[in-house]
Structure 1
Amino acid sequence: MAIINYEVRLKNSSSYDKEDIEASLRKIFELFDEYPTYLIPKAEKARIMRYINEIMDETDTKNLERDFNIIEECVAEIIVFEENENRVGLPGAKLGSFHLYHVDKADGEEEHIDEEEAEIAACQTWMLPNRSFYGLWESLHYKSSLKSDLVKYAETSFLLSQKSVNNTLISWNKVILFHGPPGTGKTSIAQAFAQKLAIRQICGYQNTALIEINSHSLFSKWFSESGKLVQKMFSKIRDYADDKTIMTIILIDEVESLTSARSGSANEPADAVRVVNAVLTQLDSLKKYPNVLVVCTSNITGKIDLAFIDRADMKIFVGMPEPKAIYSILESALNELYCKKVISGEYTLRAGGYDLPNPTDSERTLIAISDAAEGVSGRTLRKIPFLALMKFCEGAQQVTLENYLNALEKAIESDKIERQHLSDPEEKTSMKA
């Protein structure tokens, strides 16, 4: 049986409590033969009220109008769980849970470690869900199972921790390592993953903190101080971890800075070894906390100490996007330009159009562009729509979809030529001459 679950973003000004809002949501959603996958209440009011009036008598209609008015007042957006999207229309699908949440608007707060002569910004702490990461999860496109695998990992990890399962009999370290070339979205998926866990309130945690560690700041200019700074940093982390009501997610970006292989530390072997030993010791000490998860990223896994790699439960390679993902990235960018009236005229692109039957001419063009763009990083692909408009649309404030797709194709080809020049030694030599 398919269970359909929803994420519900609440307006900060809502005057009803969550129980009332959820009760109203459930009444309205039970009217639908097929549960919606996406809903902005204000935009959908006319359609839904028309549907209510067609199927209900006057008394029931008034009650449902009240329920919908509560939703309209309190709810900003409703989205079906990503892994449930293909189950909505299945026979026997049942309405599951509504995960109601507010978005925190506060910026990340810097945490400092006092050194003898200066303050070091050792990390930045965000309370989640946060406005800074809103929509990030949906904007990232990877192989189909990556996102669902991450959520399942977190659910299983926190469940076993809450059940006090003996870690010596069933071993897991609550550490994930994202690795791969630059520009593939490793940091973004780590941040988006933390945001998603906060929205889903995994294992009942109502509050979530994301602590982003500044790896480079933990190296002191004074010899042998780095190991001590690592210990001070993790001491601050434990202040959050000690509060069992907060799910604490630690993000260590470019973790190779703190865990470089001890066998290869030729320049400052003693200090490098102390740093790695300190990190490993502190990670081991966090295992006792049921509410802590550590997420790391690295561009250079060959430099990471094997003892750290062995501690990672999941080692996820994040590579260059495949053509299907490229299509999704570019289509989402084009849709944004169309919604903001930069692209004018008829818009004939569909989300997921790479695999849909009977593609339109525009979809065939974008499929060909996506195939040609294989090997381009996700970071670059997000810049390409801007470059296409700047370089190949002659400063026009509005362009047709057909003309913009031509510009997009030229921008990708131009980027490939530029990158080839950067990597060609003979080209560099001729440029210097």
Structure 2
Amino acid sequence: AEPSRSEITEISSTLPEDILPPLLTERARSTLHIECCLKTHSTVRYDVIRGQVEKFLREFKTSLLCHSEITDFQDVALLKENVEYMIVAEAGSDTSDIQILENVDLDIHVYQLNEDDVVEEYQEEENVLTANYWDLPARALDGLWDNLIFDENIKTRLLDYVYTTILFADRNVNSNIISWNRIILLHGPPGTGKTTLCRAFAQKLSIRLAERYSHGKLFEINSHSLFSKWFSESGKLVQKLFQQIYDLIDDDDAFVCILIDEVESLAATRRSALSGAEPLDAVRVVNALLTQIDKLKQEKNVLILTTSNITEAIDIAFIDRADIKQYIGLPSQQAIYAILSSCIRELMRVRIIAEEEFLLDWRAVELYQHTNSIDNPSIRLYSICGKSYAHFLKSWATTTLKDFLKALEHVVDNETIGRKLTLENQGEGEACKMLINERN
């Protein structure tokens, strides 16, 4: 028989504490993240605000609701004068909605929003937009992260990945033994929020890493602009673009996120070049881009975010380099309900919708939808979401079981899909053909 908890405790009490596994010592405490945005005019030091916020919460709160706003700090003069808003975020791996403060550690992130608009970079000769540039955290991206809703715990997974890369860098993990490239690939149908998630993620990192990096940068590359109509000029464009990126990375106080949107456009160009439809200059451009990306993985303050609308067209070289290959699919009925209910609450807040009806959580709606009247606003909204979900499922009505299982596999095990897309030890031209044939 297995030993009881008391027997384990008695045995463990005779052993040195530093050799015991965590489960035999004191239970690990969760870390509750609090995000505190200062007013633009505030000049108070962040550590002073951080200490005052923790003192306020410990003295006046016994528990906090995750993903909610704290509004009752107005009685504390320093906070009233300097704090614009305060948000309770997540509690690490603990998925409980309510957190008891005596059981958690508080990680308080203090920051100020940058009021500058996005800066656009253009090619001088061809007047083509090459990149967008943000100073983070930016007012234009404020609140974006919290309003993105996905079925899977995608956002937590992305944050955990970055925390892990920072830990590896701090501990000087040998990258020749444990390799990571600082690249994330989001792929899936158009309009599912991939690019928006990348921007919101960069904004979130500038907040979460504020104690380590005083500010963040987001450099969004227009992949279509990397190919010049003039022979041999494309390579110079890539070199010039990445020189700007290296200038940003040289600032050790900045965390730099690079976003390459619609990365499949690079893959299509390379395949065309290999087949003779495009000049070999295009191949050299893509190879130069991959070389520059490989160099960036040595830097501690950079992260590369990529997106693709066409999974089948993603370049094999990008698949091989991505540490995370995350499929972003169409939302479920539950996710649609969460999205629409948040929109309705916002319209109620500004009095566009006059009747302030209380909208239930989708879990409560599923529990009560068979007992309550359809006149209940929450149940009616959930029914509408079901029709919306069924609308895009209708296109699957005549699909084969084989195709359905492939699509299901995308959602359930995106990492496996990423590995399947990586055809190791194959020639690139042959690999692309095999990938297309497999998908067809």
What's the TM-score bracket when you normalise by the shorter of the two chains?
0.7 to 0.9
Name the amino acid aligned to 1:148: T
Question: CA 1:188–1:316 in 2, change beyond 3 Å: closer, same or farther?
Answer: same
- Counterparts of 1:215 and 1:128 in 2: how far apart (Å)? 22
Distance 2:211 2:39 in 1: 24
* Alpha-carbon distance between aligned partners in 2 of 1:261 and 1:165, rounded to the nearest angstrom: 36
Partner of 1:374: 389
Q: With structure 1 as the length reference, what TM-score do the two structures score? A: 0.76
- C-alpha deviations, 1:259-283, integer Å up to 9, x for none? 3373443310413311221111111
Secondary structure of the 2:180 match is coil
Q: Determine helix, strand or coil for the equivalent of 2:347.
A: helix
CA RMSD, aligned part only?
Answer: 2.3
The equivalent of 1:20 in structure 2 is 48
Aligned to 1:364: 379
Q: CA deviation at 1:349?
A: 0.8
Shift of 1:345: 2.5
CA–CA distance in structure 2, aligned partners of residues 208 and 345 of structure 1: 41
2:280 counterpart residue number:
270
What is the aligned counterpart of 2:239 among 231, 247, 252? 231
Amino acid at match of 2:317: A
Q: 1:11 to 1:224 in 2, by over 3 A?
A: same
Q: Cα gap change, 1:367/1:36 in structure 2, threshold over 3 Å: closer, same or farther?
A: closer
Moved more, 230-239 or 183-192: 230-239
Q: Quote the Cα distance in structure 2 between the aligned partners of 1:195 and 1:91.
A: 27
Q: How far, CA to CA, are the matches of 1:355 and 1:82 in structure 2?
A: 23
Cα deviation, 1:65-91, whole Å, max 9, x if unaligned, reads 5xx111111111111123457253348
1:9-408 paired onto structure 2 within 5 Å: 9-31=37-59, 32-35=61-64, 37=66, 38-41=68-71, 44=72, 68-83=76-91, 86=96, 88-90=98-100, 92-114=102-124, 117-201=125-209, 204-260=212-268, 262-265=270-273, 266=275, 267-352=277-362, 357-358=367-368, 361-374=376-389
CA shift for structure 1 position 356: 6.7
Q: Secondary structure at the match of 2:107?
A: strand
Q: Distance in 2 between matches of 1:376 and 1:233?
A: 43
Unaligned runs of 5+ in 2: 1-28, 393-440
Q: Give the direction of change, closer, same or farther, for the CA distance of 1:89–1:356 in structure 2 (3 Å limit).
A: farther
What is the one-letter code of the residue matched to 2:49? I
Structure 1 counterpart of 2:324, which letter? M
Aligned AA (1:188):
T
Instruction: Give the Å deviation of 1:317.
Output: 0.7
Q: How far apart are residue 174 of structure 1 and its match?
A: 0.5
**Partners of 1:277 and 1:171 in 2: how far apart?**
21
* Count of aligned pairs between the two proteins: 353
**What CA distance in whole angstroms lies between the structure 2 residues aligned with 1:102 and 1:236?**
25
Give the CA deviation at 1:159.
2.4
The Cα shift of 1:357 comes to 4.5
CA 285–212 in structure 1, closer or farther in 2 if over 3 Å, else same: same
CA contact (8 A) 1:162 1:290 kept: no
Measure the CA separation in 2 of the matches of 1:15 and 1:228.
43
Q: CA shift at 1:189, angstroms?
A: 0.3
Secondary structure, counterpart of 2:134 in structure 1: strand
**Could you say what secondary structure the match of 1:344 adopts?**
coil
CA 1:289/1:45 → structure 2, altered by over 3 Å: closer, same or farther?
A: closer
Cα distance between partner residues in 2 of 1:288 and 1:351? 45
Question: Would the alpha carbon gap of residues 222 and 362 (structure 1) be closer, same or farther in structure 2, given more than 3 Å must change?
Answer: same
Deviation sequence 1:323-372 (CA, Å, 0-9, x none): 11100110011111112222222412135556675466211111111111
1:285-324 deviation per Cα after TM superposition (whole angstroms, max 9, x unaligned): 1111111100011112322221121101111111101111
Asked whether the equivalents of residues 324 and 354 of structure 1 are also in contact (C-alpha less than 8 Å), the reply is no
AA of the residue aligned to 2:51 = A
Query: Contact conserved, 2:46 with 2:111, CA < 8 A, in 1?
Result: no
How far apart are 1:111 and its partner, in Å? 3.0
CA distance in 2, matches of 1:221, 1:179: 29
CA offset digits 1:239-258 (Å, max 9, x no partner): 11122221110001111223
After superposition, the Cα gap between the structure-2 partners of 1:27 and 1:213, relative to the gap in structure 1 and judged at 3 Å, is: same
1:8 aligns with 2:36: yes
1:93-137 C-alpha deviation (Å, 9 max, x unpaired): 2241210010101012223444xx345432121111101111111
Aligned residue identity for 1:102 = Q
